[in-house]
Amino acid sequence: MTGTEMSHTPSDVKRVAVVATGVIGASWAAYFLARGLDVDATDPSPGAEARLREAVAQHWPTMVRFGLADGASPERLRFHARLEDAVAQADFVQENGPERIDIKIDLFRRMDAAAPPATLLASSSSGLAISAVQSECKHPGRVVLGRPFNPPHLIPLVEVVGGEHTSAEAIARAMAFYSAIGKRPIHVRREVKGHIANRLQAALWREAFHLVEQGVASVADIDTAIAHGPGLRWALMGPFMNLHLSGGAGGIAHLLDHLGGPIEDWWHDLGAPSMTAELKRQVADGMADELGGRRSADLEAARDALLLDLIRAKAASATLE
C-alpha cells in the first residue's frame, strides 16, 4: 500500500502521543510519522530518546518502501521528559507501557488528567482488561484498547476493545482513525483474556508444545508444517474463508456436513501440556538446532522484507483485501 493509496488521516487527528517507546512504542512512532502525523513521545527510561530516534531511523527505509504520506518526516518527532507534556496537545494517545495493571492504571489516570477532553486514549496491552485500565480515570469513556500485532509499523491488524465505561463514540472514532492510517482494525465485542489474535495463537502454540512433548515432531518439523503448509493460506485468508474454499461448490456448509464430526474428534484429542522446565528445555534445544547458527537479526530482516512484499501484494488485490 502506498501513501497515495492510503486514505487521509481524519482532520481531527494531526498529533499523536506515543507513551513508552520500547519495541512496540518505537514501531508505532515510526508508523505514525510515516503517515504524516506529528508525534510527541515520552519514556522515563535512561537513554530512551536516543534509542527511539535510532529505532525510527532503522525503520524509515521500510517506511519509504511502504509508501509515505504527504509531509511524512522523522523530523516531526518530539521527545518529552514529562508524560503530561507529551499528551498535552495530542489528538490521540497510543500507550505502550509495561504489561502490569498497576502501571497501566496510573499511566491512564495521569494521561486522563493531562490530555485535552476530546483526545482518545488507547493502550497497546497484550491481554489486560481495559475496564481495569480505565478504572481511575475521570473520563473513562474515551479509553480504548488499540492492540497492534508486532511489528506495528508493518502488520495491519489492530484489535479495538472497549471497557465497561467506554463510549460507543470512542470505539467508532478509534476504528475510523486506525482505518484512515492504513490499519485493519477489528472490534472485539467483549473483553476476554488475550483478545482475539493472541487467543488464536495460543491455541496453536498449545498443540505445538504438546506435539514436541509427546515426541510426535521436532521443533523444526512443526515450524515447517505451518510455514510451508496452512500458514501460507492463512497469510492470505482467515480460517473460516479457507474452510469455505475447501468445501468446493457447497462451501463451508458442505464441508462441515462432511468433516464436522472428524474435526470435533480432533478437538477431543488435542493436548493440554504444562510449561514444565523439561518442556521448555526441549523447545529451546530444538530451536537452537533449527537455527543452525543463523542470526535472529538476519531472520527478522528477511521476514520483514517478505512481509512488506506480501502486504503490498494483498493491498493490490481487491478480492483478497
Fold match between 15-188 and 199-315? no
What confidence tens digit (pLDDT) does each residue in 148-163 have? 999 999 999 999 999 9
Find the mean pLDDT for residues 194-219: 96
Per-residue confidence at 2, pLDDT binned at 50, 70, 90? very low
Instruction: Give the per-residue pLDDT at 127.
Output: 86
Terminal-residue alpha carbon distance, the chain:
11
Q: Of all residues in the chain, what percent carry a pLDDT higher than 90? A: 89
Task: For residue range 110-142, list pLDDT tens digits in order.
Answer: 999 999 999 999 999 988 999 999 999 999 999
Integer Cα distance of 36 and 47 in angstroms: 26
| Helix residue ranges, H only, 182-276 | 197-213, 219-227, 230-234, 239-246, 251-269
* Distance, C-alpha 294 to centroid of its chain: 26
CATH fold of 15-188 reads Rossmann fold (3.40.50)
Q: Where are the domains of the chain?
A: 15-188, 199-315
User: Quick one: average pLDDT of 183-188?
Assistant: 96
Quote the CA–CA distance of 189 and 173 in Å, as a whole number: 15
Q: What is the dihedral of CA 79, 114, 34, 31, to 10 degrees?
A: 100
CA dist 54 and 61 (Å) reads 12
Contact 147, 161 (CB under 8 A): yes
pTM of the model: 0.90
Quote the pLDDT of residue 5: 36
Confidence of residue 11 (pLDDT cuts 50, 70, 90): low
pLDDT tens for 161-175 read 999 999 999 999 999
Task: List Cβ neighbours of 100 (8 Å cut-off, separation of 6 or more).
Answer: none
With a CB cutoff of 8 Å and minimum separation 6, the contacts of 96 are 18, 19, 20, 21, 22, 24, 25, 28, 123, 124
pLDDT of residue 10: 53
The CATH superfamily of 199-315 is N-(1-d-carboxylethyl)-l-norvaline Dehydrogenase; domain 2 (1.10.1040.10)
Separation between Cα atoms, residue 298 and residue 304, nearest integer Å? 10
**Tens digit of pLDDT for each residue in 233-286?**
999 999 999 999 999 999 999 999 999 999 999 999 999 999 999 999 999 999
Q: Provide the mean pLDDT of the chain.
A: 94
Q: How far apart are CA 32 and CA 73, in angstroms?
A: 10
